[in-house]
Homo-oligomer: A and B are copies of this chain.
Amino acid sequence: MSSEAITDGWVEQAEAALAAAGRKRGGARRALLELLAAQECALTAVEIEDALRARSARPVSRASVYRILDELEALALVQRVETGQAMVRYERVCEHEQHHHHLVCDECGLVMPFSDPGLERAIDSLSTRVPLTVSEHEIVLHGACRDCAA
């Protein structure tokens, strides 16, 4: 399916990284990995929990969702996205995939990904001139989406 093509073995990459870190396998985590692999953009913990319950996929408790996301974040397999919407969002990080950022509609809460080479260049150059060893950056543009602006 298309989602597998897009993620290009991200689930396997994640499992390998976890194994290398001495972790055992588990069904809850596997289900969560597969869900994230199929997403185009960031989800909240609750959205993840609901999706796993709804999809007849293995239900995973809220606590496990957070714990698993934390582990994945520590291994840089997942990234937090702060959209200013009270809850944190999470999405997979895939090396072979183009880095993207987010557009947030402050009216309806819609979150969309976007990417822009010029912006990446500006950030990369900036990163070398700043009193911080930059590990990550996150750009969020706020505004009104097409439907809401209409």
- Chain A residues in contact with chain B, CB under 8 A? 80, 82-84, 88, 103, 105-106, 112, 114, 116, 118-119, 121-123, 125-127, 129-146, 149
Number of copies of this chain that the complex holds: 2
- Is the pair B132, A103 in contact by a Cβ cutoff of 8 Å? yes
Contact of A141 among B114, B116, B127, B144 (CB under 8 A): B127
Contact of A137 among B132, B133, B139 (CB under 8 A): B139
- Is the pair B135, A138 in contact by a Cβ cutoff of 8 Å? no
Question: How close is A72's CB to chain B, nearest CB, in angstroms?
Answer: 16
- Is the pair B122, A149 in contact by a Cβ cutoff of 8 Å? no
Measured CA separation A132–B140 after assembly (Å): 12
- Is the pair B138, A140 in contact by a Cβ cutoff of 8 Å? yes
**Besides A133-B143, A133-B144, A134-B142, 18 other A-B contacts (C-beta < 8 A):** A82-B82, A82-B83, A103-B132, A105-B132, A106-B135, A114-B130, A116-B126, A118-B122, A118-B125, A119-B119, A126-B141, A131-B145, A132-B141, A132-B143, A132-B146, A133-B145, A134-B141, A137-B139
